[in-house]
Structure 1
């Protein structure tokens, strides 16, 4: 498949391969829905499987732990294989897992199916952004990644609520059955419209530890960790914070945040290939500023919702900007391994931020949450501001570090 930066005979950029990128975005959408759907179905699934509701919550935990544990080793194991069959294998694993959940009457079997889905999730997340980046010329890479990662945002903002409503209308087993069929449909779409790419040649593979030390990678991973720590301190405990502020309608707060993240993805798509460094600095500064506003003036509903909307716009765009910087620093060929490292750091940030927020909530109360999140977000901002432009470039007009620049065989 030939990818030229310009349309022949014109000065216009080559059009994005929309069908293939949307297939990858739909794969991300399906993965997020698979991960989170049980959380909205606790009262319905528990009696059918003969366990308390809390045990159904562990189905989400089992997925997350398996994804965390599998991302690096599984990605390293399959990095030499052709990319499209690996991607299709992950989607087939999702479909099989959801089919088992739909049919199973055993809690143990259901947990095993969720562990399988988590392993597939760790594999999939390590591939998606790098795959999208390889489908376009370097100067369109950021926008391609934004399209792919938009599937995550849309799943959180609309997919999970819609999936929960569907399960309430037709039953949770049919809902998982339909999700399994949808996974097979995405698999066919990927086979039809997503190009195949070779795996990494054995002689040119960097060890995982050396990938982590490529120029720019430590800074990108640090920003990921600090951002997720700060974000989760606050986001995990939005409900008690909203109640303390006198606005107890948590659903409204989350709806505002979710809708704003969609807007953030759209804005980021316009800026990621033009001013990525400025866009990321602005997003992180907005996140930090929102914590100050929430810490001092959240008692006013208009201020609370306005701050949450700005937070959603900023956070909605930040992952795409960070992921683009990661792929630029690693180069598309090593992007799967680099992204597996980032996925592990991302999940560690989620776990650490949630734990920290819980301890703060118990010890100092909900009012201390924004002030706990603030220094973590400032740390993320400081890393970007202090990092070399090779890690977070000001513009993306030309390709970023290549295998030759990293001292790798071509």
Structure 2
């Protein structure tokens, strides 16, 4: 199906007759799952990777850093280069580029080549994340765009809840290279499905393209990026060091159970977001940040109660589960015809926040202990809520 026929079909249908392109959106979610699992899986396999490549665990830890660095450095140039191109060819080429880089990482025995492959995989990942939101919206009727993004974003919580633990288990049971190899095979499957099922969509019109610096000053974009940065630092700091919080709180709750509870709750949050985001996008964002802060308060005040900590994990998961479609919807609407570039800025802000969270968390747990991390959730949550609340007109309006 071409982009022209898709657009015409949307124009000729009444709002009640328009339907979500469910199969293409699920393929996008499947690719998101692969990207998330590929990015986070090495964290659970550092000893095996270090042993397999005969390097220190600290060096093996650069698997994550190299991937994130590739995303930060090359996403914006890649998006600027491809934003005028038809979406489907770019989507498939990016998947195949990701597959190639991931396969090299799976078979390489040289640490420099392996880290270089991770850097390139991160770059293709950034391109895919940057275009997914705009692509999902372009093949969907406007009044269903938020729900479409929620479906296309399913891969994020599923990758965190299922993909990362499964990849770690495979790596432990059969060897870490098998985990990378299986993810590469899944990427090929995603490319084939995309070629057959996902419709094409046009790129951005040349006359509407503006430089990245001008995208930043589009009303609402900077405020949304600031919310993303602050909120994601708060989230990733606790998520990265959740094991230390549980240990310092004296919890008998295992890290595996905690992450499963969080992941399952994130799926609930994503479902809630999908049902409400097209009607009340501002309310959903503000409620999610407020719920995130509430979870931080329960983590702090109920740290000696397993039931309280489980409740906090549930609220945290619900609050964070819908964050991706909420923020992608907000920045896509604010960005207008430059939504793809705006979304690429979102991905860069997210990855910088991941890096900052790792550094900040390491400082906090060294200077204090894991119990200080929920306080960061509360403090940065207040800041994110204040920014979102004041960006009423352009960043987080009541209606998209």
TM range (shorter): over 0.9
Farther-moved stretch of structure 1 (86-95 vs 176-185): 176-185
Map Cα deviations across residues 215-270 of structure 1 (whole Å, 9 max, x no partner).
21122111111111222232222112111211042222222111111111111111
- Is residue 90–residue 120 contact of structure 1 (8 Å, CA) maintained in 2? yes
| Counterpart pick for 2:153 among 136, 149, 152 | 149
Matched, 1:325 2:330: yes
Matched, 1:220 2:224: yes
Alpha-carbon distance change, 16 to 207 in structure 1, aligned in 2, over 3 angstroms: same
Q: Any stretches of 5+ residues in structure 2 without a counterpart?
A: none
- Is residue 215–residue 390 contact of structure 1 (8 Å, CA) maintained in 2? yes
Please state how far the C-alpha of 1:208 moved relative to its aligned partner: 0.9
| Counterpart pick for 2:309 among 304, 308, 315 | 304
| Counterpart pick for 1:347 among 333, 351, 355 | 351
2:69 partner SS = helix
Please state how far the C-alpha of 1:198 moved relative to its aligned partner: 2.7
Map Cα deviations across residues 245-298 of structure 1 (whole Å, 9 max, x no partner).
110422222221111111111111111112111111111001112212222221
CA RMSD, 1 decimal: 1.9
Please state how far the C-alpha of 1:367 moved relative to its aligned partner: 2.5
Farther-moved stretch of structure 1 (378-387 vs 160-169): 160-169
Alpha-carbon distance change, 32 to 11 in structure 1, aligned in 2, over 3 angstroms: closer
Matched, 1:19 2:14: no
Alpha-carbon distance change, 139 to 234 in structure 1, aligned in 2, over 3 angstroms: same
2: distance between equivalents of 1:235 and 1:45?
22
In the TM superposition, what are the counterparts of 1:160-239 in structure 2 within 5 Å?
Answer: 160-239=164-243
Structure 2 match to 1:289: 294
- Is residue 32–residue 153 contact of structure 2 (8 Å, CA) maintained in 1? yes
Please state how far the C-alpha of 1:13 moved relative to its aligned partner: 4.3
- Is residue 281–residue 397 contact of structure 2 (8 Å, CA) maintained in 1? yes
2: distance between equivalents of 1:126 and 1:183?
17
In the TM superposition, what are the counterparts of 1:1-150 in structure 2 within 5 Å?
Answer: 1-3=5-7, 4=9, 8=13, 12-150=16-154
- Is residue 211–residue 337 contact of structure 1 (8 Å, CA) maintained in 2? yes
Map Cα deviations across residues 197-222 of structure 1 (whole Å, 9 max, x no partner).
23233332111111111121122111
Alpha-carbon distance change, 13 to 289 in structure 1, aligned in 2, over 3 angstroms: farther
Structure 1 match to 2:280: 275
Structure 2 match to 1:316: 321
1: distance between equivalents of 2:348 and 2:23?
29
Alpha-carbon distance change, 53 to 88 in structure 1, aligned in 2, over 3 angstroms: same
- Is residue 208–residue 338 contact of structure 2 (8 Å, CA) maintained in 1? no
- Is residue 144–residue 278 contact of structure 2 (8 Å, CA) maintained in 1? yes
- Is residue 6–residue 13 contact of structure 1 (8 Å, CA) maintained in 2? no
2: distance between equivalents of 1:371 and 1:103?
43
2: distance between equivalents of 1:103 and 1:112?
13
Structure 2 match to 1:374: 378
1:246 partner SS = coil
Please state how far the C-alpha of 1:7 moved relative to its aligned partner: 8.1
Please state how far the C-alpha of 1:5 moved relative to its aligned partner: 5.4
Alpha-carbon distance change, 26 to 239 in structure 1, aligned in 2, over 3 angstroms: same
Farther-moved stretch of structure 1 (202-211 vs 358-367): 358-367
Please state how far the C-alpha of 1:170 moved relative to its aligned partner: 3.3
TM-score where L is the length of structure 2? 0.93
- Is residue 5–residue 13 contact of structure 1 (8 Å, CA) maintained in 2? no
1: distance between equivalents of 2:382 and 2:374?
12
2:398 partner SS = coil
1:2 partner SS = helix
- Is residue 95–residue 184 contact of structure 1 (8 Å, CA) maintained in 2? yes
1: distance between equivalents of 2:338 and 2:159?
27
1: distance between equivalents of 2:306 and 2:17?
45
Q: Any stretches of 5+ residues in structure 1 without a counterpart?
A: 397-410
Structure 2 match to 1:253: 258
Farther-moved stretch of structure 1 (312-321 vs 175-184): 175-184
Farther-moved stretch of structure 1 (54-63 vs 227-236): 227-236
Please state how far the C-alpha of 1:52 moved relative to its aligned partner: 2.2
1: distance between equivalents of 2:181 and 2:355?
30
TM-score where L is the length of structure 1? 0.91
